[in-house]
A and B are shown apart, each in its own frame.
Chain A
Amino acid sequence: MLEKQEPPLLSCRGLTKRFASPAEASGGGFVLANAGVDLDLRAGRVHALLGENGAGKSTLMSMLSGWHRPDAGTLALRGAPLVLGSPAAAMRAGIGMVHQRFSLVEALTGAENLALADGGRVSARRTKELAQRFGLALDPGKRVSEMSMGERQRLEILKLLARDAHILILDEPTSVLAPAEISGLYASLRRLADQGRAVVLITHKLSEIAGAADEVSVLRRGRMIAHNLPRDPALADGWDMAELSRLMVGRDVPDCVASSVPPSCVLGAQDDGLQGAEHSETTLSVRGLTAQSGQGEPPAFADVDFEIARGEILAIVGVAGNGQEALAATLGGMERPARGKITIQGRPYDRALVAYVPEDRHGAGTVPNLTLAENMLLSTTRSRGAIFARGAGSRAARKALEALNVTASGVNALARELSGGNLQKFILARELSKGAPLLVVEQPTQGLDVLAVCDVHAAILKAAETAAVALVTGDPAEALALARRVAVVYRGRIAGVVAAGDADAFERISRLMAGLAPVEAALAEVAR
């Protein structure tokens, strides 16, 4: 292992953090988010911190950036002990963090946000100069609310650089970016590391570390399973990815998630389904669909046309904020379109014909403080009458729990007591129980751990045997893993439709997501 004379820029020893358990029914107690974590960060390195959702990555980094105080353990900055009481204190020590949810003031401009961060004057010129110095393109006079996610991210990084941060921590930085923007980010990070900074990249996607990292640490269930693994020049990816995924998950991982490449087994299953006679039967037809819009603002999406056949999964992919969210809500019946037509099985749109799994599991898909039995009735009850059918709700919820193997203490458990994966499976089971001809699933695996992802994907594939499925996702890999056709949404329009079987599908989807491919060219290809 690497042992150097010079102490690391930042080193952690035995960091431990407990949180009070949110689930009351579990009898209280504490969740150990981090237990005795060790980590060394060195100047000039890009360090990938790998772990599943809930492994404790964010907690660890929150302790490094001063948001949480560790319950035990020590930090040392260049060998000298360091105690952090607040993010401001961490910033003074040169540690800056870009959270997954940006901490920008949306109502303020870029220049104002920068001035807020570094205590300087609000000056467009100063901001521009700073942005140029670090090669991060930015419009200083634009309000954050009008910026793209990439721009916001650059502003966040710039805020840290303006305060001379020499340790930069980025939490899942690629999750908001189009694939084409990611390489730009990696290049910037590399440049910043070469200038003598330590850069930490938090991620749960193995595919991302190959291109960016110098060393890798793996966190699992709050414990550091392996720390500071250097890149192995003998391997093409730099590390043995199968080994890393085993470290991350703690056991052998099913094929479907071990890599981001679309697994052949899944595609095979799809092809079989498509050879049936029924695949020509159009279930969903969307014509000229246009969202409602406020005065003077463009609609979230406009003139969208597509069809989905029974037994088919169509993925609708886009970078966050390009209108696919509103499209999903419209298909799901939460929003009314301004123009256009949706027909399901030849009939005009009817909410009862749609099963819808919304992106927001805890706020929209379920009510956190109601029981599962009650949540079961949220979207499935259509009977009339004043008294609501509690017994029917309990029975249906019990069935739903069994159908997808949901782990819960019972149908009287509150929705908020379920883990993200189990809640998602519950919602999926509830929606599938309706037997609707159309299933709309939105970001179905965001924030889920690997095994839950597998279950959810399997359920979606199973549903696609009898229904038409619209899969709205920001993750092209997920789209390719499940769907046969991928429609890419860019600035509210379908920029192109890519067949998942094509060899260069990923590349073309990436370009379309970033708005790089001309629309005509893409359409011409689809029309073949």
Chain B
Amino acid sequence: MGFRFVVEPWTAAAPKRRAALSLCTALAAAGVLGSLVFALAGVAPGAAWLAMARGALGSAYSLSEILVKAAPLTLTGLAVALCCRINLWNIGAEGQFVFGAIASCAVGLFAPAWCPPHLLLPLALAAGAAGGAAWALGPALLKARLGVSEILTTLLLNYVAVLFMEHLYFGPWRDPEGMGFPGTAELPDFVWLPTFGDTRMHWGLPLALVLALALWWLLARTRWGFRARVLGESPKAAAYAGFRAVRITVTALCLSGALAGLAGAGELLGVQHHLQDGLATGLGFTGIIVAFLARLNVLAVPFAALLLGGMLVGADQLQTDLRLPGTAILALQAALLFGALLGEFLAGKRVRVVRTGKREDRHGA
């Protein structure tokens, strides 16, 4: 007699409970995998987690920093989630983020000459969204018209966007009075996103929350959203119903790009105020994790963004306390993503041990 593990669907688990189960599994798995990473790096996992917790939750300032990070993460998470609902992979939120920042920086640098000051901020934000959408347009058209994998095109364009941004702030847009420090001049303060009190929290966060609601409404209540959902669930049914897949695909990817671009604009106008090194820190890429941790539910995206924001802020403490390099956060994010996949697998399943016969495929002689 032998034993065999049988993993079988557990139909009694309700969807809500399943989602909670999946999240808990994801976090637990991420904890284990992350500890493994710390151990490999020669750091005591307990100390590392403690440092992260202290870094993220230790002070009012750090808590506000989480909200600062949550704003762009919500937007890039929405960008990825929107595309995934239509079976599109926008791996290029990072590039769109950068391009959005570049576009809004252009407004901040060059528009004050002719634009009334009170219109500058809306114009800069709109430019950010437009820049992100424009950066997504190429992959969108290639995907919709020719079927070129948007995974590869959006991803490869990330590199191009970052190179272009570096070119700008090392070259033509460099601040001549920057004392050799590469970056643009500081944008005039009337294009800054207002902050709350004396924290770095800016209006990007409420904007992101409003957009999350708007996106939910768009998907659930509008004709376009209905068509997009049909296309995402079943392209054949969309063809049957006569929906234009090309148009929906292009619109969705551009909208997604606009959200990511807005995230970039918000980061520039709300936090950095210069185009400079350190603007593109993977907030776009992290959006993928945010989206999947939220299980593509746009209303859950802000919460996932909070979690990831907490991780980012906590990870800074790893650098100062334990001398771990900045890339440590990537390994932790990978652990979380793997954990989410494991959670997705285990949610709504139960593992049973069954007794098996002597040998499975023996048959009578």
Contacts and interface: CB of A to CB of B under 8 A. Distances in A.
A356 B226 contact: no
A369 B233 contact: yes
A386 interface: yes
A364 interface: yes
A406 B250 CA distance: 38
Interface in A43-97: 66, 76-86, 88-89, 92-93
B357 A83 contact: yes
Contact of A388 (B9, B221, B236): B221
Interface in A357-392: 358, 360, 363-370, 374, 377-379, 381, 385-388, 390
B224 interface: yes
B239 A334 contact: yes
A379 B240 contact: yes
A351 interface: yes
A428 to B, nearest CB: 14
Given A351-B242, A370-B233, A20 B360 contact: no
A368 B230 CA distance: 10
A82 B240 CA distance: 48
Given A363-B236, A364-B239, A388-B221, A76 B11 contact: no
B47 interface: no
A367 B237 contact: yes
Interface in B334-365: 357, 359-365
A92 B361 CA distance: 9
| Chain A at the B interface: SS class | loop
B160 interface: no
Nearest to B225: A388
B15 interface: yes
B116 to A, nearest CB: 31
- Of A351, A370, A390, the most chain B CB neighbours within 10 A belong to A370
A379 B241 contact: yes
Contacts of A276: none
A390 B357 CA distance: 55
A24 B15 contact: yes
A446 B359 CA distance: 40
Contacts of A385: 223
A334 B241 CA distance: 8
Contacts of A332: 240
A20 B9 contact: yes
A363 B234 contact: yes
B361 A86 contact: yes
B189 interface: no
A324 B81 CA distance: 39
Contacts of A76: 364
Contact of B363 (A88, A92, A365, A386): A92
Interface residues of A, number: 46
A358 B240 contact: yes
Contacts of A84: 360-361, 363
Given A386-B223, A386-B224, A388-B226, A83 B361 contact: yes
Nearest to A95: B363
A360 B236 contact: yes
Contacts of B15: 24
B237 A378 contact: yes
A378 B361 contact: no
Nearest to B348: A24
Contacts of B224: 386
B221 to A, nearest CB: 6
B222 interface: yes
A86 B364 contact: no
Nearest to B358: A83
Interface in A144-168: none
Nearest to A369: B233
B353 to A, nearest CB: 15
A78 B236 contact: no
A80 B237 contact: no
Contacts of B221: 387-388, 390
Given A20-B11, A387-B223, A83 B363 contact: yes
Interface in A232-288: none
Nearest to A378: B241
A366 B237 contact: yes
A14 to B, nearest CB: 16
Nearest to B239: A334
B12 A28 contact: yes
A29 B11 contact: yes
Nearest to A75: B363
B8 interface: yes
Given A28-B12, A82-B364, A364-B239, A374 B226 contact: yes
B54 interface: no
A157 B308 CA distance: 56
A103 interface: no
A195 interface: no
A21 interface: yes
A88 B222 CA distance: 51
B361 A356 contact: no
A483 B19 CA distance: 51
A86 B360 contact: yes
Nearest to A365: B240
B361 A77 contact: no
A333 interface: yes
B295 interface: no
Nearest to A79: B364
Given A82-B363, A84-B361, A20 B240 contact: no
Nearest to A89: B361
A332 B361 CA distance: 50
B200 interface: no
Contacts of B357: 83
Nearest to B14: A24
B363 A356 contact: no
A333 B221 CA distance: 27
Contacts of A80: 363-365
A195 B5 CA distance: 42
B346 to A, nearest CB: 16
Given A80-B365, A85-B361, A86-B361, A368 B233 contact: yes
Contacts of A66: 361
B17 to A, nearest CB: 12
Nearest to A351: B242
A86 B362 CA distance: 11
Nearest to A90: B361
B360 A89 contact: yes
Contacts of B360: 83-86, 89
Given A21-B11, A351-B242, A367 B233 contact: yes
Contacts of A363: 234, 236-237
A86 B361 CA distance: 7
Interface string A82-123: 111110110011000000000000000000000000000000
Nearest to A69: B360
Contact of B237 (A79, A364, A386, A388): A364
A370 B230 contact: yes
A80 to B, nearest CB: 2
8 contacts: A77-B363, A78-B364, A83-B357, A89-B360, A364-B240, A367-B229, A387-B221, A388-B226
Interface of B: 8-9, 11-12, 15, 221-226, 229-230, 233-234, 236-237, 239-242, 357, 359-365
When A and B form their complex, which 4 residue pairs have the shortest distance between CB atoms, in order from nearest?
A80-B364, A85-B360, A28-B11, A89-B361
Interface of A: 20-21, 24, 28-29, 66, 76-86, 88-89, 92-93, 332-334, 351, 356, 358, 360, 363-370, 374, 377-379, 381, 385-388, 390
Given A28-B11, A66-B361, A83-B361, 15 more contacts: A20-B8, A20-B9, A80-B365, A84-B360, A85-B360, A88-B361, A89-B363, A333-B242, A364-B237, A366-B237, A378-B237, A378-B241, A379-B242, A387-B223, A388-B222
